[in-house]
């Protein structure tokens, strides 16, 4: 069904586009009717997407199933993220770090389990695991998840979005930084596995390298989030993006398996330095009545990197080589560093003062 880097790029792009658009939509909806309903709907759609891919008989079904998973992810992630900022309003960095630990810890474990299932039983079986996990999340959301939005606050959001256009402008540089991070993610998820296979690594070795990245990313995020609650967000965000730009370049020159695992651990740490603080900065800026909308807007622009990145990187890899896709990703990250340095002020003190 898949014969080129470009086709792989299309699959990741449809995931990024569907997730990006629904981040924005579900963010607005969550401000109006609550966080819990969008989490429930997201869990259902994710499970349906996994089922469709597991039973796919053509490339078209792969695209549709991937889009459903993207839509479901948009609902669950926005709903959970805003709920956690409301549960811990003075420790937003820590709250986001704990959320990302759960999300990317699961991703790390899932990468390894999926790789093992794929080798032992075939590439369809990992998607049955998505169905099982989605069903569990659905039951947990219905039975145990509390609603965090204040009574009456959702209705007021309908009339206040236009009044906060300046806040939307303030998060634009953060959205650019988030966009660059998803370009890097799309490179790692879509093309680095193939790049490592071309270097001579086996499937299990590739799974270990990718798991090392996501596990390091997940484990460090509560610490970097908590650190941003103590010393501020901007400095560690700039360090993380700059370090990621350099670490990505190192991928093109390192061939040793052990060194690649260590590099993946370093890249995961660098990603943790910016990933959680960026969302926390958006929450610092956002008034409570449109927090879901602003976080959804940030995630929309951020996840567009998942849409545009794979298309461009896939084309570059087909026409030239994957090395050039790596170089471009490094440049995009470096540009985001400059944007943050020149146009973003520290935001942490604002939420504390409120």
Report whether pLDDT(155) > 90: no
Helix axes 291-319, 59-87, angle to 10 degrees: 140
More confident residue, 348 or 19: 19
pLDDT band at 124 (very low <50, low <70, confident <90, very high): confident
List, for residues 313-344, the tens digit of each pLDDT value. Answer: 988 988 888 999 999 999 999 999 999 999 98
Q: If you average pLDDT over every residue of the chain, what do you get?
A: 85
Identify the residue whose tokens are 């420790």.
91
pLDDT at 245: 96
The dihedral region occupied by 147, where left means phi > 0, alpha psi between -120 and 50, and beta the remainder, is: beta
Let me know: does 47 contact 38? Beta carbons within 8 Å: no
Could you tell me the CATH number of the domain that includes residue 327? 1.20.1250.20
More confident residue, 354 or 66: 66
Report whether pLDDT(354) > 50: no
How many folded domains does the chain comprise? 1
> Residues 186-192: what's their mean pLDDT?
87
pLDDT at 3: 59
DSSP letter for each residue of 129-192: HHHHHHHHHHHHHHHHPPP-SPTTHHHHHHHHSGGGHHHHHHTHHHHHHHHHHHHHHHIIIIIH
Residue 133: give the domain boundaries: 5-353
What span, in angstroms and rounded, lies between the C-alpha atoms of 77 and 100? 10
pLDDT band at 151 (very low <50, low <70, confident <90, very high): very low
List, for residues 62-89, the tens digit of each pLDDT value. Answer: 889 989 998 998 889 888 888 887 777 7
Quick check: helix, strand or coil at residue 96?
Answer: helix
The dihedral region occupied by 85, where left means phi > 0, alpha psi between -120 and 50, and beta the remainder, is: alpha
């Amino acid at each position: 069904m898949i014969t080129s880097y470009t086709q792989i790029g299309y699959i990741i792009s449809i995931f990024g586009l569907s997730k990006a658009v629904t981040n924005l939509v579900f963010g607005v909806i969550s401000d109006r009717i609550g966080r819990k309903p969008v989490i429930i709907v997201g869990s259902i759609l994710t499970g349906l997407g996994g089922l469709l891919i597991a039973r796919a008989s053509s490339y078209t079904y792969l695209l549709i199933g991937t889009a459903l998973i993207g839509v479901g992810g948009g609902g669950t992630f926005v709903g959970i993220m805003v709920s956690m900022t409301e549960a811990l309003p003075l420790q937003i960095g820590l709250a986001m770090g704990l959320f990302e630990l759960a999300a990317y810890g699961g991703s790390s474990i899932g990468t390894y389990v999926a790789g093992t299932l794929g080798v032992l039983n075939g590439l369809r079986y990992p998607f049955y695991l998505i169905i099982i996990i989605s069903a569990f999340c659905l039951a947990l959301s219905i039975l145990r998840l509390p609603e965090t939005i204040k009574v009456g606050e959702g209705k007021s959001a309908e009339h206040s979005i236009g009044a906060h256009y300046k806040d939307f402008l303030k998060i634009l540089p953060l959205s650019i930084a988030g966009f660059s991070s998803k370009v890097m993610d799309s490179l790692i998820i879509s093309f680095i596995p193939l790049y490592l296979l071309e270097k001579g690594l086996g499937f299990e070795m590739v799974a270990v390298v990718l798991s090392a990245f996501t596990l390091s990313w997940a484990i460090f995020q509560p610490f970097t989030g908590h650190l941003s609650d103590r010393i501020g967000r901007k400095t560690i965000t700039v360090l993380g993006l700059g370090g990621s730009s350099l670490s990505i370049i190192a991928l093109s020159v390192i061939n040793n398996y052990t060194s690649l695992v260590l590099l993946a651990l370093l890249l995961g740490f660098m990603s943790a330095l910016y990933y959680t603080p960026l969302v926390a900065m958006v929450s610092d800026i956002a008034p409570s009545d449109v927090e879901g909308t602003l976080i959804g807007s940030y995630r929309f622009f951020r996840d567009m990197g998942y849409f545009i990145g794979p298309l461009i990187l896939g084309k570059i890899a087909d026409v030239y080589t994957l090395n050039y896709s790596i170089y471009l990703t490094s440049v995009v990250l470096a540009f985001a560093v400059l944007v943050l340095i020149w146009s973003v002020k520290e935001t942490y003190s604002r939420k504390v003062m409120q």
